[in-house]
Amino acid sequence: MMKPKVCILRSDGTNCDEELFYAFEKFDALPEYVHVNELREKSKNLSNYQILALPGGFSYGDDIAAGKVLAIELTSFLKWQIQDFIKNKGIVLGICNGFQTLVRTGLLPFNNLGKMDVTLAPNDSGHFECRWVKIKADKSPCVFLNGLTHPIEVAVNHGEGKFYTDEKTLKKIEKQNLVIYRYIDNKNKPTQKYPANPNGSSNAIAGICDPTGRILGLMPHPEKFVDITQHPNWRRWKYNSDGAPARQSLGDGGAFFENMIKFANQS
């Protein structure tokens, strides 16, 4: 079976690309760094990849708004490549700044390239949130996430992560089950309360997908916790008599990438 190829899209200001590369490579994909200019100059093409991944960071210094300049590049210069990639059933993933970019292209939540339906606004706290939170998957069209029923712990690192839209659009998103993750409290229930909800996102939304389930984005960083040793408290966890961690050796974000890559292999 051929390994799926992953385009990890870079631009000026991208800074979570190495963690994302490691996560894909760990679960047997073939990630490759691709600068957006290489796609614009046509020295590389999205048709050669099965997964397009937009990492976190501060693309173009968050000028205008987080992810806005990169979104303009994608909709203005790479529109046809992206449309063909989606038509050929490619998977599109945006994490943090990548998620901000996808909503500003209009690809999320309704795959309306060029039409922005939702936004990711400044956090209600008024400052950058950099810590660990808990999230839980919702049932959605994103089939490779549906089996992931357990709450997971992930890192957040953002200043503009509040998912917001008008009431009509929010109801449409909920009716179509496009929410893939929600922020949860210590009782594993969706919450609007800070600090469990780090940004004040409507309906505790941490991530969404499009109706096909192949385009998805989230503010938390599953790629930063694919190994147990990436958690700051891993040394405090209980160990079995054989010296192995009492919990799984994979980090909580591992299954996210493992399932995605398996799905890409079967598509």
Is residue 150 part of the annotated active site? The answer reads no
Beta pairing, strands 152-158 & 179-183: unpaired
The 8-class DSSP code of residue 26 comes to H
Local structure of residue 41 (DSSP, 8 states)? T
Give catalytic status of residue 160 as yes or no. Answer: no
Residue type at 35?
H
The count of C-alpha atoms lying within 13 angstroms of the C-alpha of 62, restricted to the half-sphere facing its C-beta, is 16
Q: Of these residues, 19, 73, 129, 223, which one is catalytic?
A: 223
Determine the residue type at 71.
A
Q: Under a CB-based contact definition with an 8 Å cutoff, are residues 206 and 220 in contact?
A: yes
Clarify whether 7 is annotated catalytic. Answer: no
**∠45-218-257 over CA atoms, to 5°?**
65
Residues ≥6 apart with Cβ < 8 Å to 103 = 67, 109, 116, 117, 118, 119, 120, 217
Helix (H) or strand (E) run with residue 84 in it = helix 79-87
Report strand pairing: 91-95 vs 119-121: unpaired
From 96, 142, 158, 209, the catalytic residue: 96
Task: Tell me which of 160, 221, 231, 258 is the catalytic residue.
Answer: 221
Which positions ≥6 away from 72 have C-beta within 8 Å? none
Q: Which residues are catalytic?
A: 96, 221, 223
